[in-house]
Structure 1
Amino acid sequence: MKIKHIVLLALSLIITSCSGTISTAKKEYKITKASQFKSHCNLNEWFLQKDTLIGHGVPMHWGVMELKKRLPKNYEIDFKVNMTEESLFEVMLNINKNKYIRAYLYQIDQNIVIGDGTYNKNSDEYGKRGGPTLFKKTMKLENNKWYSIKIRVTNNQLYFSVDNETFLECNLEKSNLSQQGKLGFLTNGETKVIDLTIKTLQ
């Protein structure tokens, strides 16, 4: 199946209103053209090559990409990811100023993790990026392997799963995590993302 679904927040369907939140009639977001993608994202160290989103970072300078529009209050995100180099891929959820939720794969510890994140765009200094682990589960992770990711946020409940087998859940309010904001990706090596779809949930 062709990956015309590589959507970073389906910005090709976004209603062009003054609202800072993503919304469409179809409630599903897709983007396929590099020009559209660039206009709706702060790419930094990421780029779109055909139907694959590729990020580049190094352990001392993580490669970050951030969408310009905010996620809806309730949403579901699906995609496939391959960490071709290094050990960390992170989904940055509900980015609000310099705070966000960390939902990530970490090869060094062989865990999937939910954490409380901080990201300072102007500094790679320790303590100004990343943040504490709140929940984790052991999972065998390796380079050059595709993993299916599903993230769902409904009524402040976060669900994060990998390959529909290993999953974590938490309540955003009880865990004192960011409840609304933008979406981003982060890597400390080379990471590839395909088949990205983001849906609004009621």
Structure 2
Amino acid sequence: MKLKIIGILILQFLLFSCSGTISTVKKEYKLSDSGELKSNWSINSNEWIRKNDTLIGNGGPSHWGVLMSKKQLPKNYEINFKVNMTKESLFEVMLNSDKENYIRTYLYQIDQNIVIGKGVYHKNSDEYGKRGGPTLFKKNLELQNNKWYTIKIKVQNNQLFFSVDNKTALECSLEKSNLSQKGKLGFLTNGEVKIIDLSIKTL
């Protein structure tokens, strides 16, 4: 009986550790639970670092700082965190990143909008047209530096929900908007940004 229980525990451990997704049905990924950032994320230490429980990203107008997960997002998921754009104007969550294509969900200070768009990102190129992409949906929101914003992103049954501070939200159908339905998670900035309380769970 003891051997059977031990065998089940070992099998569960292997399933979690070898899982191809950044969270599983039985486990919620939290940044504070992560021993090393390198285990779950592809990281350039010149662009992103972890200081205590805070992710700090650095980029510039000519070279955006990008952090990409090593594992796929689940089909249905919810992402929650707080973000502070300490410098410059753009912070972007890259959803369902697959090859060069992804869904853009971002805060843009210049236009004072939150946005859902169709994105493209070529890792080894900063050329115009090989990063970013067209806006599909937007809503006005007053944005400023050195202020914390609460972000919630949910993808369920191919519906995308994106909200800031639980008061300004955008929604769309991935299928109808011809948006990527699977892929990895990433973060992008053209300045300095701080992220805390990051959690990713399967729905």
Q: CA deviation at 1:111?
A: 0.2
8 A contact 1:80–1:194 mirrored in 2: yes
Greater displacement, 121-130 / 33-42: 33-42
Query: Is the Cα–Cα contact under 8 Å of residues 76 and 157 in structure 2 kept in the other structure?
Result: yes
TM-score between both structures, scaled by the size of structure 1: 0.89
The counterpart of 1:183, out of the listed 182, 185, 188, is: 185
TM-score, structure 2 as length reference: 0.89
User: Which sections of structure 1, spanning at least 5 residues, go unmatched?
Assistant: 1-13
Structure 2 Cα separation of the partners of residues 100 and 87 of structure 1: 20
> More helix per residue: 1 or 2?
2
- Structure 1: 4+ residue segments shifted above 4 A: none
User: How far apart, in 1, do the equivalents of 2:131 and 2:22 lie?
Assistant: 26
**Residues 47-196 of structure 1 aligned to structure 2 (within 5 Å):** 47-196=49-198
SS at match of 1:32: helix
Q: Which amino acid aligns with 2:49?
A: F
Secondary structure of the corresponding residue to residue 196 of structure 1: strand
Secondary structure of the residue that 2:36 maps to in structure 1? helix
Deviations 1:107-140 (A, max 9, x none): 0000000000000001000000000000000000
Distance across 2 between alignment mates of 1:25 and 1:163: 26
* Cα deviation code 1:143-167 (max 9, x no counterpart): 0000000000000000000000000
RMSD: 1.6
Distance 1:121 1:35 in 2: 26
Inter-partner Cα distance in structure 2 for 1:54 and 1:22? 20
Higher Rg: 2
Partner of 1:41: 41
Unaligned runs of 5+ in 2: 1-14
**CA pair 23-50 structure 1, distance change in 2 beyond 3 A:** closer
Partner of 2:29: 29
| Distance in 1 between residues matched to 2:128 and 2:162, nearest whole Å | 26
